[in-house]
Structure 1
Amino acid sequence: MRLIILGPPGAGKGTQAARIAQRLGIPAISTGDIFRANIRQQTPLGERVEQILSSGGYVPDEVTNDIVEDRLGWPDAGDGFLLDGYPRTAGQVQALDTMLERHGRGLDAVLELTVDEDAVVARLLRRAAIEGRADDTEEVIRERQAIYRKETAPLAQHYADAGLLVQVDGMGEVDAVTDRVLAALHRTS
């Protein structure tokens, strides 16, 4: 299966992506994980990304598109993948469509985790305290939520119009959310 998972920052996309990908035997590809690894390794990309993230912004499309296209070319993504954190903008949707067309592929479904924003902010503040994430202050979290609503949430409508959107309640226990996602995917296949 070729999937995308959407939802605001802190909705549990990374957790669910890993669980779903493992159950389906496909790689979970997280642009956030790729960026954080580059920051830890202090690569030139990591330094650029760190400056952008610390101000609450998103990494430019051209950088993200190149990283995703490279990763989709790896052998483990040949039979499917789950994209987490990509696409975020209309430009990235176009780039992804072009990438997939070039390889004669299409998406099977786009999952959207729906959540309560205030609950997500509280969740991210707890995670920041536990993991020591300097980029997760309340101001930055709320800015990312606003950017998501403005730039990424409209993508859900695009995928709904294409008949690919599957909305799933992302609130509650992790196992319950995973069960809801897998049940929703089963209904679409």
Structure 2
Amino acid sequence: MLNIALFGPPGAGKGTQSEFLVKKYNLFYISTGDLLRKEIAAKSKLGLEAKEIIASGGLVSDEIIVQIIEKTITENPNANGFLFDGFPRTYIQIYILEGLMIKLNTSLNCLIGLEVEEQISVARLLNRGKTSERLDDNEMVIRNRLREYHDKTLPVLQFYKDKGIYFDVKGNQSIDMVNQDIQQIIKAELNKSLFNVVLFGYPGSGRGTQGIALARKYGLEYVATGQMLEQEIKNNSDIGKRIIELYESGELVPDEIVVQLIENKIESSNGVKGFIFKGFPRTLVQSYILDGLLKKHTSSISQVIDIQVPTLELINRLDERSKTERCMPYDTSTSKIVKRLQEHEKKTAPVIEKYNQMHAVKKIDGVGSVKEVFDRIAMEIENNGQYLG
């Protein structure tokens, strides 16, 4: 998820740049003023509270603001991230945003400040006033607004400077030059982050084939739990011996072993652009484990993809696989195949639902040639605002 705060004095050109960034990176635009007006127009509970406060001459409290922002974020899971226009405005709001980001298992990537000399801001706004007929576009009001902006935002900007995620852009350049500078900042920030994909799909959907191909194309590390367990057995490691014991007694491999192997994989993978997870997480518990593992390594899930194939096609594919050396234990009869598919749905449906609320799971048609399905997945990855080829 890409989260940006865009700051700049009146007349800096935030509106123009915001419009571009929203389209370029598929971000959802968050302006507290716009959100308040929307809630008031909708006559929602929060909107009515805000309207009453404004009518009495008061300022809308941070308590209401944070609820509206959280509501907006959770209602827009398809966004690749959020563009905050002029928020946080105060030192208190800094910590409100920090806490909100933690709650939503994400963080602010950067704060970009458009720096414009006062005389240029004044000239731009006076020029705008000639056509907009806005009463507040006269020089005295403009200079007061600029003074208020600098007084209020100085502590906010200093906080993010100290944190190392504040970047300034010369806003007196041409629109295109400002735009290029902003894109360079975002590109550098995204390059610091791992691009992590979780690949879902029923047995027979082609997850393994697609996962390996995607990892190769995009410089990702392919993480398949089944493959890692088999490797431990081949290596005759202590973990491998334990896995054999579990298999022989008919027990499932516990999460403790799987997590240890995944963590070792993450820590030993140098120079990769991210990870593609196949076969993990299978359960809700494992989904929380993966979130925690990635958080430990200052990372998170970037994209969740679900390869969808009709049940009859899955049965046909698994039946065909049973006649090859790639045959799995559950491929040997139709009844076993159906049981396996039912078990998969029971376990993974809640996981996909959880991720759909947080990341907007991308559903991919898995019918067709390997290349056709691959091209569909590749298009989704390359349309993701966090992916940089």
Give the TM-score taking structure 1 as reference length: 0.82
User: Across the two proteins, how many residue pairs are aligned to each other?
Assistant: 185
2:154 aligns with 153
1:6 aligns with 7
Distance in 2, matches of 1:69 and 1:135, equals 31
Cα RMSD after superposing both structures: 2.9
1:55 aligns with none
2:92 aligns with 91
Distance in 1, matches of 2:32 and 2:127, equals 22
Distance in 2, matches of 1:46 and 1:137, equals 28
Amino acid at match of 1:6: F
Distance in 1, matches of 2:176 and 2:29, equals 18
Distance in 2, matches of 1:133 and 1:51, equals 24
Distance in 2, matches of 1:90 and 1:17, equals 23
Distance in 2, matches of 1:12 and 1:49, equals 28
Amino acid at match of 1:12: G
Distance in 1, matches of 2:61 and 2:142, equals 18
| 8 Å contact from structure 2 (residues 27, 83) kept in 1 | yes
Distance in 2, matches of 1:50 and 1:149, equals 27
Q: What does residue range 7-26 of structure 1 map to in structure 2 within 5 Å?
A: 7-26=8-27
SS in 2 for 1:111: strand
Amino acid at match of 1:182: Q
- How far apart are residue 134 of structure 1 and its match? 2.3
Encode CA deviations 1:63-107: one digit per residue, 9 max, x unaligned. 433332322222246531111121111111111111111111111
Residue 116 (1) aligns with residue 117 (2)? yes
Distance in 1, matches of 2:80 and 2:87, equals 18
2:237 aligns with none
Which region of structure 1 is more displaced relative to structure 2, 155-164 or 61-70?
Answer: 61-70
Which region of structure 1 is more displaced relative to structure 2, 70-79 or 105-114?
Answer: 70-79
Pair 1:38–1:139, CA change in 2 (3 A): farther
SS in 2 for 1:27: strand
Q: What does residue range 158-169 of structure 1 map to in structure 2 within 5 Å?
A: 158-169=159-170
Q: What does residue range 164-175 of structure 1 map to in structure 2 within 5 Å?
A: 164-175=165-176
Rg: which structure is higher? 2
- How far apart are residue 32 of structure 1 and its match? 3.7
Q: Structure 2: any 5+ residue segments left out of the alignment?
A: 191-389
SS in 2 for 1:75: coil
Q: Structure 1: any 5+ residue segments left out of the alignment?
A: 53-57
SS in 1 for 2:22: helix
Using CA pairs under 8 Å that are at least 6 residues apart, name the structure with larger relative contact order, 1 or 2. Answer: 1
Q: What does residue range 126-137 of structure 1 map to in structure 2 within 5 Å?
A: 126-137=127-138
Residue 138 (1) aligns with residue 139 (2)? yes
1:72 aligns with 73
- How far apart are residue 117 of structure 1 and its match? 1.1
